[in-house]
């Protein structure tokens, strides 16, 4: 849906960019602005700036930038309408609906409504229904009470085959849509029934806290023990975590070094959060994926894997480590005692003992090397080669040279081999990988850089719009050389025409046609000058651009003279030569100082 400019302006006024961004990452005051380490790329020195006066952000490291809507879109991986809706919910702002939306809502929005209704029903059943007494008893036996049930929205699906179905159809939801949502199933005989029955229900929420699916656990020894909602357009197990909507608040509060605990199950996550480890999430019955880690990088600087203390848990951790190295997120591993999962460990040993486990968590190097040394012997040639081969394959995924050098030295020391030999083998491996990548890589034509004087002039105009009219009067036919500069100048002209010569930076950014322009404008708006420096800079840009126009005219005349000479048209040659001399004689343009 396209939102009216007035709606976007109201949305901006209700969502201060500093308040919104600081709810995701810790910001520090830096003069009139705020800064932080960028959440969109890895860095140690903050280059991410937020300007509260202009209500924009810009990163000088990766060039991401824009208004509050652009930030939410990038951080939450949302479309423009979804980001607007999120910010509207945050500010309790009611957005207008188009006539088409009123008559036919998107399937995704209907799913959200179904899940909200189902969650409320399940939760009420868990708290109040007599038939849920066994579920409440089981919940209590795991050491949880009403506080945890409320925080996670725990529910109960009764044994009845159609209790939820009748409740949801009574609210007007169609049976075929309920089947698509996954809360209702359809038998081969065409009978509709509740997908979850006689199970403890765990609502699965996205990072904004909206219910997108459910997990259900049996209360006895039946199999399967856990049952998840089927995947839909809004629920993909490979990129969702259980508990992240709660954990992200704790991660923001951690400050400079943010670490996240990753477990394998709902109960583990709830137990750790209940014990005070609020920065805990769980995967959803699937192995950790690249998409999972990319999402984690938005919230944390380090991941601590908390896997069950058995062979399967160790293998799951080992599979995950290469992904962390490839994606560039630091990781450590907690090796729990054999036979204990995090839930068991907390109940048996307490939170203080678990805090000590976090402190003693092994880094990627130690954990993987220890696992390889348990599997192979470094004292015989065959085992040594296998350890070296597998570990070098892992090291080849590290892009940070300092970290790579450190691991190579440590590996050489542990195995008792020459560091130089390991580097030779590692270089061979990387060369093979590069050849494979180059063969499959598409050819990309780099974009020409924007002329710096054009960028500066546009920046001055954005800061002081009256310069636009003066520029047009001085250089009415100037053609911008930079692609983005050309697009931006046209957008400024349209905005000033529409707003009678005035526009606000944040509203202007939100109306730009693409993200490239938004980033470009945010970069230009970050700079600040005194009135005197701005005025001098603007005059210098005008002089430079007059010089550019003059040189272009001279070059054009030279080409025309050459064409006329080739054609043997001496009269035209003479006329053009006279024009060339007059242009040189009347030129009073001088270049701005370097």
Residue 458: CATH number of its domain: 1.10.860.10
Asked if 384 and 348 sit in the same domain, the reply is: no
Is residue 592 included in any domain, yes or no? no
Q: Which of 185, 211, 235 is the last residue of a domain?
A: 235
Is residue 257 included in any domain, yes or no? yes
Asked if 421 and 362 sit in the same domain, the reply is: no
What pLDDT is stored for residue 527 in this prediction? Answer: 76
CA dihedral 316, 317, 322, 326 (to 10 degrees): 110
Is residue 70 included in any domain, yes or no? yes
The residue among 310, 121, 140 whose CA lies nearest residue 219 is 140
Asked if 86 and 114 sit in the same domain, the reply is: no
Asked if 120 and 95 sit in the same domain, the reply is: no
How far apart are the C-alpha atoms of 331 and 311, rounded to whole Å?
Answer: 19
Range of the domain at 248: 241-370
Is residue 314 included in any domain, yes or no? yes
What pLDDT is stored for residue 2 in this prediction? Answer: 66
Which residues of the chain are under the pLDDT cut of 50? Answer: 99-100, 102-104, 437-438, 441, 443-446, 589-594
What pLDDT is stored for residue 256 in this prediction? Answer: 67
Site of tokens 């349209």? 494
Asked if 308 and 255 sit in the same domain, the reply is: yes
How far apart are the C-alpha atoms of 310 and 264, rounded to whole Å?
Answer: 13
To which H or E segment does residue 345 belong?
helix 342-349
Asked if 350 and 383 sit in the same domain, the reply is: no
Asked if 325 and 412 sit in the same domain, the reply is: no
Is residue 446 included in any domain, yes or no? no
CATH at residue 254: 3.40.1360.10
What pLDDT is stored for residue 244 in this prediction? Answer: 95
| Tokens found for residue 318 | 């080992």
How far apart are the C-alpha atoms of 116 and 210, rounded to whole Å?
Answer: 8
Is residue 594 included in any domain, yes or no? no
The residue among 269, 226, 276, 267 whose CA lies nearest residue 244 is 269
What pLDDT is stored for residue 444 in this prediction? Answer: 44
What pLDDT is stored for residue 104 in this prediction? Answer: 45
E strands in 350-496: 362-363
Is residue 576 included in any domain, yes or no? yes
How far apart are the C-alpha atoms of 95 and 167, rounded to whole Å?
Answer: 29
What pLDDT is stored for residue 447 in this prediction? Answer: 56
Asked if 93 and 111 sit in the same domain, the reply is: no
Asked if 388 and 473 sit in the same domain, the reply is: no
Helix ranges (H only) for 129-262 are 133-141, 146-152, 163-170, 175-181, 244-254
Q: Evaluate the CA torsion angle 423, 425, 426, 430 in order and state its sign.
A: positive
Is 0.85 surpassed by the pTM of this model? no
What pLDDT is stored for residue 48 in this prediction? Answer: 94
pLDDT digits (tens, 9 = 90+) for 457-485: 999 998 888 889 899 889 888 889 888 89
Q: How does DSSP classify residue 481?
A: S
How far apart are the C-alpha atoms of 239 and 232, rounded to whole Å?
Answer: 12
Asked if 423 and 360 sit in the same domain, the reply is: no
Q: How does DSSP classify residue 239?
A: G
The residue among 547, 447, 440 whose CA lies nearest residue 487 is 447
Asked if 208 and 258 sit in the same domain, the reply is: no
Is residue 506 included in any domain, yes or no? yes
Asked if 382 and 363 sit in the same domain, the reply is: no
How far apart are the C-alpha atoms of 119 and 283, rounded to whole Å?
Answer: 20
| Tokens found for residue 224 | 């399967």
CATH at residue 48: 3.90.580.10
Q: Domain total for the chain?
A: 5
CATH at residue 190: 3.90.980.10
Q: Which of 204, 235, 266 is the last residue of a domain?
A: 235
What pLDDT is stored for residue 127 in this prediction? Answer: 96
Q: Which of 370, 403, 424 is the last residue of a domain?
A: 370
């Amino acid at each position: 849906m396209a939102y009216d400019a007035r709606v976007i302006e109201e949305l901006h006024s209700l969502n201060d960019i500093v308040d919104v961004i600081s709810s995701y990452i810790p910001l520090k005051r830096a003069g009139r602005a705020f800064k932080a380490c960028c959440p969109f790329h890895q860095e140690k020195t903050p280059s991410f700036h937020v300007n509260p006066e202009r209500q924009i952000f810009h990163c000088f490291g990766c060039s991401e930038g824009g208004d509050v809507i652009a930030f939410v879109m990038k951080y939450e991986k949302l479309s423009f309408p979804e980001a607007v809706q999120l910010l509207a919910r945050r500010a309790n702002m009611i957005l207008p609906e188009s006539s088409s939306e009123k008559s036919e809502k998107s399937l995704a929005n209907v799913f959200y409504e179904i899940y909200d209704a189902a969650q409320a029903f399940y939760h009420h059943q868990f708290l109040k229904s007599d038939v849920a007494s066994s579920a409440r008893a089981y919940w209590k036996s795991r050491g949880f009470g009403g506080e945890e049930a409320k925080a996670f929205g725990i529910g109960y699906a009764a044994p009845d085959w159609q209790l939820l179905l009748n409740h949801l159809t009574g609210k007007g939801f169609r049976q075929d849509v309920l089947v698509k949502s996954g809360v209702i199933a359809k038998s081969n005989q065409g009978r509709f029934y509740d997908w979850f029955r006689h199970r403890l229900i765990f609502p699965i929420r996205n990072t904004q806290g909206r219910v997108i699916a459910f997990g259900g656990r049996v209360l006895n020894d039946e199999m399967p023990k856990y049952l998840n909602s089927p995947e839909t357009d809004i629920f993909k197990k490979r990129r969702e975590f259980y508990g992240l909507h709660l954990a992200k608040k704790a991660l923001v509060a951690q400050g400079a070094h943010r670490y996240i605990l990753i477990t394998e199950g709902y109960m583990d996550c709830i137990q750790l959060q209940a014990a005070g480890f609020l920065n805990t999430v769980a995967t959803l019955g699937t192995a950790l994926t690249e998409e999972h880690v990319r999402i984690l990088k938005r919230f944390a600087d380090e991941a601590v894997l908390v896997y069950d203390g058995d062979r399967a848990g160790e293998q799951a951790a080992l599979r995950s480590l290469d992904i962390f190295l490839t994606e560039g997120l630091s990781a450590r591993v907690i090796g729990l005692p054999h036979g204990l999962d995090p839930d068991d460990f907390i109940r048996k040993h307490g939170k203080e003992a678990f805090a000590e486990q976090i402190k003693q968590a092994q880094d990627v190097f130690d954990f993987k090397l220890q696992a390889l040394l348990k599997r192979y012997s470094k004292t015989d040639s065959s085992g040594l080669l296998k350890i070296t081969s597998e570990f070098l394959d892992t090291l080849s995924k590290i892009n940070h040279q300092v970290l790579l050098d450190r691991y190579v030295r440590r590996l050489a020391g542990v195995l008792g081999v020459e560091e130089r030999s390991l580097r030779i083998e590692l270089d061979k491996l990387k060369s093979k990988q590069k050849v494979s990548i180059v063969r499959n890589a598409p050819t990309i034509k780099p974009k020409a850089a924007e002329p710096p004087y054009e960028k500066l002039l546009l920046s001055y105009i954005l800061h002081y719009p009256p310069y636009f009219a003066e520029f047009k009067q001085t250089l009415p036919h100037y053609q911008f050389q930079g692609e983005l500069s050309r697009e931006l100048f046209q957008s400024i002209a349209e905005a000033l025409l529409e707003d009678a010569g005035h526009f606000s930076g944040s509203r202007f950014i939100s109306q730009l046609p693409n993200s490239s322009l938004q980033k470009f404008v945010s970069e230009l708006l970050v700079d600040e000058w005194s009135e005197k420096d701005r005025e001098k800079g603007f005059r210098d840009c005008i002089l430079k651009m007059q010089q550019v126009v003059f040189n272009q005219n001279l070059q054009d005349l030279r080409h025309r003279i050459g064409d006329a000479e080739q054609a043997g048209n001496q009269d035209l040659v003479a006329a053009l030569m006279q024009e060339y001399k007059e242009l040189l004689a009347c030129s009073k343009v001088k270049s701005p100082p370097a």
